[in-house]
């Protein structure tokens, strides 16, 4: 089974207490696709400019990632620049240059239109909606990520697409903003009335919680000795989460819990080094070993 991922491919400039990188490959779809590709074949839909060289394209090569949905147009690739606070729990955006993303009109290649598992990474909600319209078979599971920018500036569009998705992945502050409720149990309940049957609330260094059906499942974050760069942690989580679900082919209480753990595993790897440098060099064996570490981290007998 293939996972369809739609979102940004970008260049990032990032500064954290552990270093500074002026230009590195990034973008929500890139992180999610690389993370998911360890679990399942991926189909990616995005747009890049003519500054996106074969050197950058190499990130997708040698992996089961079908890049025929990456459109290449004249102009420059989407660029984001940010700086993290000393404790890395906050960040300020220093610069955003939409560039080729400004006119992005996602078109699904014909052979992508039977995708049954879909991840709509963080991007303008109307584009997320447009992608869903192009599917020719009813998807089994659609998950969506979004951010405060769209909650503030494109709420009606966001609400429209939310009615068509099964899982919303969102961070805690955005869940509060979207629901208008501080308590996260209440926030998740309200969001689930907007469409998604399941809500995954990402809490950064504190882990993630799934609300689905009668299930509440909490995955802690892996305690790490060194976090160099939190960029892409949430997208890598989403990639591991959706990759694991797509590979299992079923959506059940057990497969959702397992997906939460593999999401946490991929997020924990992503933050160990700048950009995609850790994520791109993983082996399935390392992923399995860290998943077992998660089990050791949480296992108890009453």
Applying CB under 8 A, the residues found at the interface with a second copy are 86-87, 182-186, 203, 206-207, 209, 215-220, 223-227, 254, 257-258, 260-261, 288, 291-292, 295-302
Q: In whole angstroms, how close is the CB of 233 to a second copy at the nearest point? A: 16
Nearer to a second copy, 51 or 186 (CB): 186
Q: In whole angstroms, how close is the CB of 190 to a second copy at the nearest point? A: 12
What whole-number distance in Å separates Cα of residue 177 and Cα of residue 200? 15
Per the CB < 8 A criterion, the answer to whether 99 and 72 are in contact is no
In 3D space, the residue among 10, 41, 14 whose CA is nearest the CA of residue 28 turns out to be 10
Q: In whole angstroms, how close is the CB of 83 to a second copy at the nearest point? A: 17
End-to-end Cα, the chain, rounded Å: 38
Nearer to a second copy, 131 or 260 (CB): 260
Nearer to a second copy, 102 or 224 (CB): 224
What whole-number distance in Å separates Cα of residue 265 and Cα of residue 261? 6
Q: In whole angstroms, how close is the CB of 10 to a second copy at the nearest point? A: 28
Nearer to a second copy, 43 or 290 (CB): 290
Q: In whole angstroms, how close is the CB of 256 to a second copy at the nearest point? A: 9
Per the CB < 8 A criterion, the answer to whether 18 and 85 are in contact is no
What whole-number distance in Å separates Cα of residue 225 and Cα of residue 231? 17
Q: Where are the alpha helices (DSSP H) in the chain?
A: 28-36, 54-57, 125-133, 148-153, 155-162, 172-179, 184-192, 233-248, 253-270, 284-298
Nearer to a second copy, 45 or 287 (CB): 287
* Chain position carrying tokens 């679990």: 39
């Amino acid at each position: 089974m293939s996972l369809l991922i739609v979102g940004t491919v970008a260049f990032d400039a990032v500064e954290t207490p552990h270093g500074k990188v002026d230009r590195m490959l990034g973008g929500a779809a890139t992180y999610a696709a690389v993370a998911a590709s360890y679990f399942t074949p991926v189909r990616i839909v995005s747009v890049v400019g003519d500054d996106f060289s074969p050197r950058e394209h190499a990130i997708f090569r040698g992996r089961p990632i079908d890049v025929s949905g990456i459109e290449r147009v004249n102009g420059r690739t989407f660029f984001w620049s940010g700086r993290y606070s000393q404790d890395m729990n906050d960040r300020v955006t220093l610069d955003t240059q939409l560039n080729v993303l400004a006119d992005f009109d996602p078109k699904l290649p014909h052979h992508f239109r039977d995708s049954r598992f879909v991840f709509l990474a963080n991007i303008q909600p109307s584009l997320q909606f447009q992608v869903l319209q192009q599917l020719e078979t009813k998807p089994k599971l659609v998950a969506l990520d979004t951010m405060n920018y769209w909650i503030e500036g494109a709420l009606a569009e966001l609400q429209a697409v939310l009615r068509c998705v099964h899982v919303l992945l969102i961070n805690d502050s955005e869940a509060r903003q979207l629901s208008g409720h501080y308590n996260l149990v209440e926030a998740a309940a309200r969001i689930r009335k907007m469409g998604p049957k399941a809500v995954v609330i990402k809490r950064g260094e504190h882990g993630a919680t799934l609300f689905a059906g009668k299930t509440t499942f909490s995955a802690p974050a892996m305690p790490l000795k060194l976090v160099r760069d939190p960029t892409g942690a949430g997208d890598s989580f989403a990639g591991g989460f959706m990759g694991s679900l797509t590979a299992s082919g079923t959506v059940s209480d057990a497969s959702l819990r397992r997906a939460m753990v593999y999401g946490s595993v991929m997020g924990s790897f992503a933050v160990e080094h700048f950009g995609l440098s850790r994520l791109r060099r993983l082996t399935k064996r390392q992923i399995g070993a860290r998943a077992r570490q998660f089990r050791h981290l949480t296992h108890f007998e009453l």
